[in-house]
Amino acid sequence: MSKAQKRKRLNQDDGESKTPANKSTVDGGNPYPTLLRPTAEECREVRDALLSLHGFPPEFANYRRQRLRSFSAVDGHDTQCNVKSEPLDDAEVESVLDGLVKILLSQNTTESNSQKAFASLKAAFPNWEDVLAAEPKSIENAIRCGGLAPKKAVCIKNILNRLHNERGVLCLEYLRGLSVEEVKTELSHFKGIGPKTVSCVLMFNLQHNDFPVDTHVFEIAKALGWVPKTADRNKTYVHLNRKIPDELKFDLNCLLYTHGKLCSNCKKNVAKPKAKAKAKVASPDDCPLVDFYDLV
């Protein structure tokens, strides 16, 4: 049976998967209980195809090393804050607060611009107490190159104000000792932080097996037939977190995000003829995902 025939059979099957359900970081039922895709085998094949094409994205390498160290270490985290605040430094082990702000600054802009915005914020304010004490306009000026500066500046100030008022210290390391649902509940109290941001913090900074759904992942998932064409992002998040094996989530997410940025074929959500993998995705014909597109 060909890959396309297997996918068609899975799409048409009204039964549940006979394999054990993946331990999920989401509550509630699967919004698409009769959709058996993606299978573990398909996830692994897509991961391997993209890894062969792109290699592992270097911008996520530090997070990957942290995950490997975390999973190989003795259980338990030091969740105590022993300093007044977290310095805005470039240490490989990124603080949770640094990570959250970086994710906020990455919204609706390019990776290059968000990195410049965070670097500018660090240059303007040596520590988070300085950011808390600063006027919103000063913060806006520091992060303006990242776009949506007024909105993002307000969000950063809200986070710092809440931490200062409720915990007395500008630190989010206590999240490392919480369960996934506790982290989601805690971060939902911060105005301006949405589900995708929370999911990114869970995956990148807290080393949980979560699978964020950004625009690139969302569009590719629909093109692959992993969710219906009418799916919304929230239902896609729930479904993919239930179907994708935990051990594949991090690498697959980083690779789908990277591929979505680089591949004009996937940006347009158009299947092209079968292609050969290359070092770069220079044209639509170089996309290896055409073998996996939903052709039903």
136: preceding bond cis by omega (within 30 degrees): no
| Residue 83 CA to its chain's centroid (Å) | 29
Helix or strand holding residue 234 (H, E): helix 233-243
Q: CA 287 to CA 49: how far, in whole Å?
A: 10
- Phi, psi angle pair for 87, to nearest 5°: -70, 150
Secondary structure of residue 170 in the 3-state scheme: strand
Q: CA 16 to CA 37: how far, in whole Å?
A: 11
Task: List the catalytic residue out of 196, 272, 274, 280.
Answer: 196
Maximal C-alpha separation, the chain: 64
In DSSP notation, 132-195 reads HHS-HHHHHHHHGGGS-HHHHHHHHHHHHHHHHHHHSSB--GGGGGS-HHHHHHHHHTSTT--H
| Tokens (6 digits) for 288 | 């290896």
User: For the chain, percent helix, then strand, then coil, each to nearest 5?
Assistant: 60, 0, 40
Is 261 a residue of the active site?
no
Residue in 238, 202, 208, 204 with CA at minimum distance from that of residue 221: 238
Task: Classify residue 86 by burial, with Cβ atoms within 10 Å: 0-12, 13-18, 19+.
Answer: buried
* Residues that are catalytic: 196
